[in-house]
Amino acid sequence: MRNSLFYFYSIEVVYRYFYIVISFIFCVIIAFLHVQILLLVETYPFLQFSSKKFLVTQTTDLFDVVWILIFSTSLLFVFPLFFYQIVLFSKNSWYEYQTYFIYKLLLFSLLTYIFSLILCYFYFLPALLDFLSQWEIKQSASILNVEIEFRILNYINWILSFRYIFCFLFYIILFFFFFFHFLLELNVKYNLLKFHRNLFIFLNTFFLFFVVPSDILLQFFIIFFSFIFYEILFFILCYKCNSIRF
């Protein structure tokens, strides 16, 4: 009996894995045929306010850009299918409320990612690129003239890294906000912050130090902001607990 069940589920896993691989191959083919559109989409946040051109210092840079765009886009579109196949494979052993919760979680994750992607693409990236592109020195009487030009390979790598980090941080913050606000009781929140807020401050600061540049003033601001944020949050919880008690 166990051998037959193992064989049955192994066949199902193979089929689902085959669906994912085939979908990924089709995504790669479609992305390869429309790689110019992908390149235009990735460079649009910069080109909408600047007329500068991108530099290609080596012939292999173009091939690297093409394959980075193709595989990153294909993985991005196959990733939801991967989780959906996992849910379909596992839901036979779940209760109905668990399946309902997982579907809601997947829908929440998808909508959150789409919203954060739009927010990053149309607001944060153009503003940040506009700010970075202003670091130029162009004066006729100046000895030093600095003009900024972007390498296409470095630009694509930076854009993709920034976008994925931004969407990930946005999702994590929003997820923990809803979890902390709606799913935990008030006394649990109070005890959690009372005894572990220093740990939260440390983890928050430790993680952000890997994301932000290594600037002393910026790191000091992160530490100060993390400390103030958790202290204010703990003060609000104390006020709510005191209001309920009296």
182 compared with 203, residue with greater pLDDT: 203
Structure tokens at 168: 């990930």
Residue 121: its pLDDT value, please?
A: 85
pLDDT band at 6 (very low <50, low <70, confident <90, very high): confident
% of residues, the chain, pLDDT over 70: 83
Mean pLDDT over 200-212 rounds to 73
Mean pLDDT of the chain: 79
State the pTM of this model: 0.71
User: What's residue 147's pLDDT?
Assistant: 64
Torsion angle, alpha carbons of 47, 53, 58, 62, to 10:
40
Residue 197: exposure state from Cβ atoms within 10 A (0-12, 13-18, ≥19): middle
Of 171, 154, 153, the closest CA to residue 117 belongs to 171
Task: Return the bridge partners of 55, or none.
Answer: 151
Summarised one tens digit per residue, pLDDT across range 25-34 is 999 999 999 9
The pLDDT tens digits of the residues spanning 81-100 come to 888 888 888 887 888 888 88
The better pLDDT of the pair 237, 138 is held by 237
